[in-house]
Amino acid sequence: MKRYVMEDLYRWKESKRRKPLVLLGARQVGKTWILEEFGKTFPDGFVRINFDKQPEFHSFFQTTKDVKRIIQNLSLAVGRPITPDTLIILDEIQACGDALNTLKYFCEDAPEYYVASAGSLLGLMLAKGFPVGKVDFLRMGPMTFEEFLEANGDRNLAEYLKSINSVEAIPELFSGPLTEKLKMYFIVGGMPEAVKVWTEDRDVREVDRIQSEILEAYEHDFAKHADPYDVPKIRLIWHSLPSQLAKENKKFLYSAVKKGARAREYENALNWLINADLLKKVTRITKPGIPLSAYEDPDAFKVYMGDVGLLRRHARLASSAFSEETRLFEEFKGALTENYVLESLLRIPDTGIHYWSETPYEVDFVIQLENDIFPVEVKAGKSVRAVSIKNYAEKYEDKTKLCVRLSMKNLSYDGKILNVPLYLADELERLIGIAARG
């Protein structure tokens, strides 16, 4: 499987100011696999320590902070030399806090060594504090739609999407197959194991089984890693998500978690899910301004899942909708479509993602690209009445270069609204740039 994050890893490797790497991401998005594939490109290969499965290695980091001595001990333990041409992979590093803290000493005392760490619940530890400026962070998510296309044997379609350099209608020769593949992606999602099963067996029941196992593993993490006091609340929030997203207004409501629930009682539980990278939070802004974070309304937000396929399975939506023209995109109040678009937006570097609402209007997402702000509306079908985004554009005319709408309609730009087909969501940043330049 080709993962585009490999390009980021190569850039990290070549950086003159390289620091130890912390690779973030939810469980089973492929962090270990990509680091091992990356390690194969090093002259002396890689050494991988799994602190969860190999607790005997904890002592190496508990007894000393001398990284040269740590490297010497690791070399003896694994039975091979570790050189500056070896990638040192510290996997499941959240299981050894001493190893996590040692990263700053690798940065200061042994910068010539390549050290990359990963862990499924690292966000929980980092939320409690971490030495600033001593590590490089890189976030890895599920496979994108374009990565899915390549894995599915449709590299020509993925390359076509990347090659689009003007805002012109997509020929039916491409738009038809891309729409069908997108339906497939909504069902399978981007978790590598589910994608592998689909591309090898074409068995939706096996995909469902894999997705169910991943969801169960997440629930096991609740009990294993969360404060016992918060576990029941975490479960309630987790299981309320489909009903939260099934509403026309997708604003997160604590009362939908449990009757009478209050923010102060459930906020820690919600933050646990967000820090564990299992949920994504999108906060409302009162108005568009630079930076968007300065205009947040912390009491109003929406919550999504990290992978569209897992959301589909978590909501128990049958794959039979695949056979109907646009039902899969419209099902579930368009929640799958919004979740998919958010995943693409999250991969744009250094962008703040929020949403805007002012009764009775709501714009699904508002993004900041450098010093420009763009409203993004998501339409699940071909009906593209744009009342809310037009109201936004009129209200903030001086701050709106163009409006973006993702829908099933073809690629077009009328000088005001850039319409992007849903299958082009991964190319959104580039298409906005093309349209904005005229």
**DSSP string for residues in 47-86:** EEEETTT-GGGHHHHHS---HHHHHHHHHHHHTS---TTS
- The predicted structure's pLDDT at residue 350: 85
Tally of residues, the chain: 438
- The predicted structure's pLDDT at residue 323: 64
- The predicted structure's pLDDT at residue 175: 96
**Cα–Cα separations (whole angstroms), residue 17 to 35, 278, 317:** 20, 31, 47
Low-confidence ranges of the chain (pLDDT < 50): none
CA distance 32 to 54: 15
120-153 per-position pLDDT tens digit: 888 887 766 666 689 999 999 999 999 999 999 9
CB hemisphere CA count around 13 (13 angstroms): 17
- The predicted structure's pLDDT at residue 19: 96
- The predicted structure's pLDDT at residue 125: 78
The alpha carbon of residue 199 and the mean position of all alpha carbons in its chain are separated, in whole angstroms, by: 22
CA distance 4 to 145: 11
- The predicted structure's pLDDT at residue 280: 97
- Within the chain, all domains assigned CATH 3.40.50.300 are found at 5-139
- The predicted structure's pLDDT at residue 382: 67
Burial 297-327 (b: 16+ CB within 10 A, else e): eeeebbbbbbbbbbbbbbbebebebeeeebe
What's 5-139's CATH class? alpha beta
